[in-house]
Amino acid sequence: MRVTDTSDLWWKSAVIYCLDIETFHDSDGDGIGDLGGLAERIDYLAELGITCLWLMPFYPSPDRDDGYDLTDFYGVDPRLGTLGQLVEVVRTAHDRGIKVIADLVVNHTSDQHPWFRASRRSTSNRYRDHYVWRDTEPPDTSKLVVFPDREDSIWELDERTGEWYLHNFYKHQPDLNLANPEVVDEVLRTVGFWLELGFDGFRVDGIPFLEQSSKNSGDPALAVDPHELMRTIRAFLNRRSGSAMMLGEVKRSTSRTRSSGPSSAASRPTSCRCSSTSSACRPPTSPSHARTPARSSRPSRSALPSTTPVSGRRSCATTTS
């Protein structure tokens, strides 16, 4: 690729800085980082030389998994600020020449999400098929769990209906049924919503777990090819914003990774949530971070050592070149 080509493929030479709003900077003294604090530090980030800001989940959440347990795909956690303040952050970043991308959580929701709360009311509820259920006792799936110190199966019995629901991560994070066109439509609607608010792309969480097969879902009829799903999202992204970037969390070597589109990037195996062809995790160096403990008492999914003065989690400066 010629250097001149990077002018219309900005992600090819982007320097990406990942941060958690809650642990970045507190503007009102309540001990929790917030959008007001992030807005105050946009100039600091620009001085670092970054060209893209990747925001970890800022959505409403019970916060049992660093915000990856969502209860609303279209909102902002009120502890962090308002939707209006988020738009101000994006606008200010753009003014300083910084693109902004958001974490897109497609695999699951919180068990407190209105869809799941409705789906477990009865087997005939209209939201039942938004999740993956089975009416027969599942086999031993202990070898498939992501967190063997916390879970011993990827299925959990729901006492009310007497059926089991799939959860590749924690039992409080039921997996969405991505074989359901209504669920995929809602995912695309979510992508469109955040694009309209000015975001420049997404980092898709947990792509390997988007695959549904008879092995993990218990039903061949619910099969989902994650590559096809990513191509569907990529095609929608191209229609709405041809310059938008899509990163993917892919825990396999790049030599084995198939592309989901012309501007996607895959990650090398790493314990960090960085998701590109080259990443370097660095402790945040801002002089003023929120004075908050770790988001939860359990180990973070990022499994990084406690080296930061705030929460034991690091921000990531990443390049996709």
Q: Are 317 and 280 contacting, i.e. CB atoms less than 8 angstroms apart?
A: yes
For 223-243, write each residue's pLDDT tens digit: 899 999 999 999 999 999 989
Q: Please tell me the predicted confidence (pLDDT) of residue 303.
A: 34
**Domains: count for the chain:** 2
Which of these is catalytic: 69, 77, 111, 205? 205
Is 249 considered catalytic here?
yes
Q: Please tell me the predicted confidence (pLDDT) of residue 4.
A: 75
For 254-296, write each residue's pLDDT tens digit: 444 444 444 444 333 233 333 333 333 333 334 343 433 334 4
262, 305: one domain: yes
Mention every residue, 6+ apart, whose C-beta is less than 8 A from residue 53.
16, 17, 19, 45, 93, 98, 99, 100, 101
Q: Please tell me the predicted confidence (pLDDT) of residue 6.
A: 67
Q: What is the CATH number of the domain that holds 130?
A: 3.90.400.10
82, 194: one domain: yes
Last residue of a domain, one of 131, 148, 166: 166
Q: What is the CATH number of the domain that holds 233?
A: 3.20.20.80
280, 310: one domain: yes
Q: Is pLDDT above 90 for 310?
A: no
Q: Please tell me the predicted confidence (pLDDT) of residue 193.
A: 98
Where would I find the beta strands (DSSP E) of 71-123?
99-104
Mention every residue, 6+ apart, whose C-beta is less than 8 A from residue 204.
104, 106, 230, 233, 246, 247, 248, 249
92, 126: one domain: no
226, 312: one domain: yes
Last residue of a domain, one of 123, 148, 166: 166
84, 220: one domain: yes
Instruction: Assign 144 to helix, strand or coil.
Output: helix
Token pair recorded at residue 152: 């011993």
Asked if residue 171 belongs to a domain, the reply is no
Instruction: Assign 187 to helix, strand or coil.
Output: helix
Asked if residue 66 belongs to a domain, the reply is yes
146, 286: one domain: no
142, 198: one domain: no
220, 281: one domain: yes
For 61-79, write each residue's pLDDT tens digit: 999 999 999 999 999 999 9
The span from the CA of 156 to the CA of 260, in Å, is 32
Q: Is pLDDT above 70 for 195?
A: yes
Q: Are 128 and 208 contacting, i.e. CB atoms less than 8 angstroms apart?
A: no
Asked if residue 301 belongs to a domain, the reply is yes
216, 155: one domain: no
- In eight-state DSSP terms, residue 130 is G
180, 95: one domain: yes
**296-320 burial, b if ≥16 CB within 10 A, otherwise e?**
eeeebbbebeeebebbbbbbbbbbb
Asked if residue 283 belongs to a domain, the reply is yes
Token pair recorded at residue 131: 């999740």
Last residue of a domain, one of 166, 186, 204: 166
Token pair recorded at residue 159: 């006492």
Mean pLDDT of the chain: 81
Give the global pTM: 0.79
Token pair recorded at residue 119: 């789906």
Asked if residue 191 belongs to a domain, the reply is yes
DSSP calls for 268-305: -S-SSS--SSEEEEE----S-------SSSSPPTT---
Asked if residue 260 belongs to a domain, the reply is yes
284, 200: one domain: yes
Range of the domain at 42: 3-107+176-319
For 114-145, write each residue's pLDDT tens digit: 999 999 999 999 999 999 999 999 999 999 99
